[in-house]
Amino acid sequence: MTQSNVVEQLTAERNQLAKHAVHVHKFGGSSLASAQCIERVVEIIRQHCQLNDIVVVSANGDTTDALFSLFQQGLEAPNALEESLEELKLKQIQLIEELLNTGNKKLLSNLIEEDFKQLKSWLTHSPEHHQADMLAFGELWSARLLSAVLSEQVCPSFYVDARDFLVIDNDKACQVKSSVSKEQLYALKQEEKLAVITGYITKDEQGETCTLGRNGSDYSATIMASLVGALNVTLWTDVDGIYSADPRVVPSARKLHRLPNGVAKELGRLGNPVLHAKTLKPLTDHSTHLHVASSFDPTISGTEIGKFGQIAKQELSVTFLNDLLLAQSSSFLGDLGEKAQQEFLSICSDNKAGYIVIHQEQQKAVSQWLASHDTEVKFTPVSILATVGHKVVHHGDVQARFKRSLKHSKTFAIVNSINEHSIISVLLQPCTSELLNHVHHDLTKDARHIGLVVAGLGNIGERFLELLPAQLNRVSALENVHLVGLISSKKALINNDGIEVNQALSIYQKDAQPYDKALLMTWLENHPYDELIVVDITPSEHFSLLYNDFFMKGIHVIGANKWAASSSVENYRTLCETAKKHKSLWLGNTTVGAGLPINFAINDLLNSGDSIREISGIFSGTLSWLFESYDGSIPFSTLMIDALSQGITEPDPREDLSGRDVQRKLLILARAAGFDISMGDVSCQNLVPSELQSLTTKEFLEQASQLDDYFYSQLSKAKSKKCCIRHIARFSVNDSGQINAQVGLEVLDENDAFANLTPCDNIFQIKSGWYQDNPLIIRGPGAGRDVTASGLHSDLVSICQQLNTRKTQVKIKGID
C-alpha cells in the first residue's frame, strides 16, 4: 500500500517551503473538496511546512459519504452500482486532470482505474467483508493526489498509507500500539521529503483494515504527533477556531483563542463540533500544542490548545448534546456506580442518586451489563447542556448564573464533572437553540477579552501605568482588559499571559527584549485576544508609521502621538480607509488639548448632524504661559529662559516658537471636522527670526536677546490700543466652501475670550450651524502629565465600551 510509483518532483534543494518548525498539519475533507481548495492547501503547506513535517489528510469533500453509499448499494441494490461507481471515478479523475501535469495525470489516472476495479469486485462479491477497505480508498486517493501536486509545485513529497505502520487493538477502543507503530513509521520515512499520510484509516493486530470513527483524521494527526514528538499539530478545517458555543446555532459565539488542555478535552467529550475527546488523547503525556485554524482564511489567528496562564483559564463556553439516555438503577449506587461510570465513560453520573447519562447506542451494552447484576433499569430520553471552563465547578458565581439561566427549563439534575471543568445540566427535554443562546448570553455576555499594549514609557506613559490598576478595578468596561505589552524605542515586553499592572515597569526593566518592526508585528498580529489596543504615547514619527500595519491586522489605536493624524493627505486617507475596512478603532483625543474633550465635542456635533464652520483658540500651553505672563516689565528672552528652567517649554524653545506644533494641532482638528486639508493649507508664522533658526540650541539661548525688540514692539503697539498679544490658531470655511487656516501672533481686545486665561491653559472655540452667535468654548489645562494620562484613560474606556458591544459575524463553511 506504500507509494510504488514516482511522480515528477522538485528536488530538496529547490523546495519552496517557507517555515522550519516540526509540525503536523491535518486537512479535512472540506479543505480538500475541490481543485481550488487543494490549491489553497498547497499554498498553506508552502508557507507553514518544512520537509520533516507530516501532512495528514481526510478524503476529498464528500468522498467518504459516496463510498459508504456505494457499500449500502452493494448490500441492497448491486444492479445499480455501475452508474454510481462511474460518477465517483469521474470526480477523482477530474481532480487529477485539473491539478497535475501530463505525466502525473496518466500515472494517477491508471492507479484510479485499478482501484475502481478492486472496488467493483468487493462490492459485487462480498461487500460485507470489505466495508473498511472500501472506505479507506477516500483517504488513499486524497493523499496520493496531494503528494503528487506538492512534488510538482512545492517540494519533494511521498504519500504513506497509514495501514502500513499504524496498529490499534480494535476499531471499538482504538487504542494505539505505540511501540510497533512508531518503529514502522520511522522505517517508512524518506529523508528530505514531505510525508503525506492518510488519516482516518489504520489496521488492527490481525492486519485487518479499521477506521477511527468520527473525527478520525483529527485523531490520526495527534497520533502521528505523539509518535514523532511533534511540537505542534494544526487542524486545518473550515472554521477558524473553537468558539464559546457552536457558531452555527449561537451567532454571538466568541472565538476562544487559547484553551487549556483539560478544558479542550472536556469540550470534546461534551459535544463540541470541532473537537473530539479522543483527538486530544494522544497528547496527554506530551507538551505538544494543538491549533485549530481555517484553511479558507489561513491569515486569521485560530485557537491554540495547550498550557497557559490565568487569562486563558478565565474563558467560559457552553455546549450541548441531544439524543442521550438517562439510565437509573440501584446498580449505579456506590462503588458499583463508579464502576459503571468507568465502564461506559458516561457523560455524567451520580452514584448517590443512582444514575448515569449515556449515548443512545450504549443502551444495549448497559442493559447487558445490568443483567449480569440482576437489577432493573429505567431509560429516559434526555439532553445535556453544560458550561465548560478551567476548574469551573469552584466558581460559585458561574454556578449561580448557570442555575438562574435554567430556571424555566425541565431540569432533572445539575452535576459537576469529575474533572471539575464542567457543570452539566441534565434536561428532560431536547436542548433547543433558544435555550442554548439564552444560557450562552447569560454566561458569556461580559467575557470579551481585550489585550492592552502601551508604547512610550516616558513621563506620561509612567503616569498612565500608575493610574491603570485603579481604573481596571473601578471601571466596569475595563473588567476584561489585560496589560500584555510594554514598548519603548529600543525594547519591548510582550506576555500573552498578562503583565502584573502593579509591577509593570519593574517587570519591563527585567524582562524586556530588543525588537525590530518585523518582530513586533509578529508578536502583535498573533495575539490571542478578542481585541488588541495599542496606546501610543510616543512622540515618534517612526512608530506612527506602524499604524497602517496595525489597522490591517484589526488592531485598535489610541494615540497621543500627533504624527499620523497630521501626516500627508494621502497617508491620512489611507489610514482612515484601512481602519474602516478592518474595523479598527482609532481615537486620538489627547493629540490636541490633552484631556480636554475638544475632539469628542467635534465628533459629537458631526454625529448629531451639525456642521462646523470655524475652529479657533490657543492650542499651546507653552505659548499660553509666555504671552499671558509677558507684560514688558522683563525682556521676553528672560521670560522664555525662565519657562525653560521650569520645564514649560521644549528643551529647545524654538520648537514652541516655530508654531509647528500648533499648526499640526489645527490640521488635526480641521480633519476631525471633516475637511480634507494638508499641512501646506495651514499658514504658520514662525516667531523665531531666520538668523536664529539654524543655530544650535546652546547658540540660540546665548543669542535669545535678539527676540526682545520684536516682542516688545508688538506688545507696545497692542497696549496703545488697549489690547494684548496672543498666539492664535484659526480655521474657517465660508459659504462658498473657501477654507482659511492660519497660526500666528494676533492682537486681541483685552476682553476677548482668548485674552484672559490661566497661564498654560488652552482654549478652543467652535462655531457651527448650532453655535453661531454664541460659540461653544472649551477651556482648561491643555498639557501636563496628569491631564494627558487621564485623557488617554478616557479614550481607553470609550474604545472598550464600543468593543464590548461589538458583534462578530462567524464565517462558516460547514464542519468537517
As annotated, the active-site residues are: 665
d(CA 244, CA 530) in angstroms, rounded, equals 12
d(CA 558, CA 117) in angstroms, rounded, equals 66
Phi, psi of 174 (to 5 degrees): 55, 40
Collapsing DSSP to helix, strand or coil, 485 comes out as strand
d(CA 33, CA 138) in angstroms, rounded, equals 12
Which H or E element spans position 557?
strand 556-559
d(CA 728, CA 616) in angstroms, rounded, equals 7
* 513-514/491-494 β-pairing: antiparallel
DSSP-derived letter for residue 254 is P
Buried b / exposed e over 448-470, threshold 16 CB at 10 Å, is bbbbbbbbbbeebbbbbbbebee
Q: Which triple of cell numbers denotes residue 574?
A: 489611507
Residue/partner pairs of 788-791 with CB below 8 Å, 24 or more apart:
788/460, 788/463, 788/560, 788/590, 788/594, 788/595, 789/460, 789/463, 789/464, 789/466, 789/467, 790/467, 790/595, 791/560, 791/589, 791/590, 791/593, 791/594, 791/595, 791/596
Q: Looking at this protein, which amino acid is placed at residue 816?
A: D
Burial of 685 (0-12, 13-18, 19+ CB in 10 A): middle
d(CA 529, CA 308) in angstroms, rounded, equals 13
Q: What dihedral angle (degrees, nearest 10) is formed by the CA atoms of 478, 479, 481, 483?
A: 100
Q: Which triple of cell numbers denotes residue 318?
A: 457552553
DSSP-derived letter for residue 458 is S
Which H or E element spans position 733?
strand 723-733
Nearest to 359 by CA among 333, 386, 384: 384
C-alpha pair distances (Å), 473 with each of 228, 335, 469, 476? 47, 47, 6, 8
d(CA 57, CA 86) in angstroms, rounded, equals 24
**CA angle (512, 513, 519) in 5-degree steps:** 125
Nearest to 496 by CA among 522, 478, 516, 458: 522
**Cβ-contact 450, 257 below 8 angstroms:** no
**Cβ-contact 414, 403 below 8 angstroms:** yes
